[in-house]
Amino acid sequence: MNPANLPFDSEAMLEGLRSWVECESPTWDANAVNRMLDIAARDMAIMGATIERIAGRQGFGGVIRARFPHPKQGEPGILIAGHMDTVHPVGTIEKLKWRREGNKCYGPGIYDMKGGNYLSLEAIRQLARAAFTTPLPITVLFTPDEEVGTPSTRDLIEAEAARNKYVLVPEPGRADNGVTTGRYAIARFNLEATGRPSHAGARLSAGRSAIREMARQILAIDAMTTDDCTFSVGVVHGGQWVNCVATTATGEALSMAKRQADLDRGVERMLALSGTTNDVTFKVTRGVTRPVWEPDAGTMALYEKARGIAKSLGTELPHASSGGGSDGNFTGAMGIPTLDGLGVRGGNGHTLEEFIEVDSLVERGRLMAGLLATLE
């Protein structure tokens, strides 16, 4: 089976993808994510998959597990793992409207990662239409919480990965048309400052501002960044009345490192910030963590398979480890051959200018089809 001969059509793929992108699905809106999962479940049911809905927990949406018909159903095969949540609140579609400009197409979540998820299903669809039976059975797992560190579904992802031989992750492709063969370690932290209230007009000096302490600590956290381990604060909330000295302020911080040992040291430094100064208590607690994924022989053999397919399609396929976490962190760290970054090319993810390169839908769709058709 030559994937170059499969009749992928970028315009038809865009038409199908549009309904996915215009169904906004921010992580924190479980109902919105579930609406998106409903659309994907229906599409896969039409393709002949057996659909299993797994209820969400911790306030997140649910999970869809789809198994496609195969004579070896139940044996270890290929897991395609993707997330359907995005960082864009409902209503973003009014600011980031679906629009096509030459080889670029814009929309919330189109790049991270609905485009990659959609082309993966199109690859399965094209193989089925060609009456081609893949050597291994295929399972698709779509999850609702990757953008916040996968707190509610990590166990499901790891359990499903353990039942399979390979994991393919259609997160966005690299700018150089490359794929991802490793991911940096990431830790999240919850920050809380607790001060002493007072009337900001009448008795300002009697108060102890939690906001002031949070601001001081944010600067200290940012200053901890080195080449080996980065630190940033991305969420801050504080105060309730402008005429009151703030009693509480909360925040969330992120740390990322290429090596697990560097992240472990970073975690120690963050936790050491906890304490009380000038009657204000600052507390750091550890949130969800993604382990470092360093490529092993199994992952590199999987990459070489993909590189050979890409070469047969007339393209180069470089690889590298990447910052920014994905659920590939978990499966790769488990030692299961994992290839990430198999999704679309594009850019400006997590912004109001998020786009994909339209021609990458077909190119990456053929690459995915080639992997599904040859992995054994």
Instruction: Give the active site residues.
Output: 85, 146
DSSP per position, 293-304: B---HHHHHHHH
> Helix, strand, coil shares of the chain as percentages rounded to 5?
35, 25, 40
DSSP per-residue codes, 256-297: EESSHHHHHHHHHHHHTT-EEETTEEEEEEEEEEE--B---H
Best CA proximity match to 165, nearest among 202, 141, 138: 138
Rounded to whole angstroms, how far apart are CA atoms 115 and 122?
11
- Nearest of 305, 312, 371, 343 to residue 13 by alpha carbon: 343
Q: Is 191 left (phi over 0), alpha (psi -120 to 50) or beta?
A: beta
Task: Supply the DSSP symbol for 120.
Answer: H
- Confirm if 168 and 371 have CB atoms less than 8 A apart: yes
Q: List, in order, residues 6 or more apart from 38 with CB less than 8 Å away.
A: none
- State both tokens at 325: 């976490």
Bridge partners, 166 (sequence order): 78
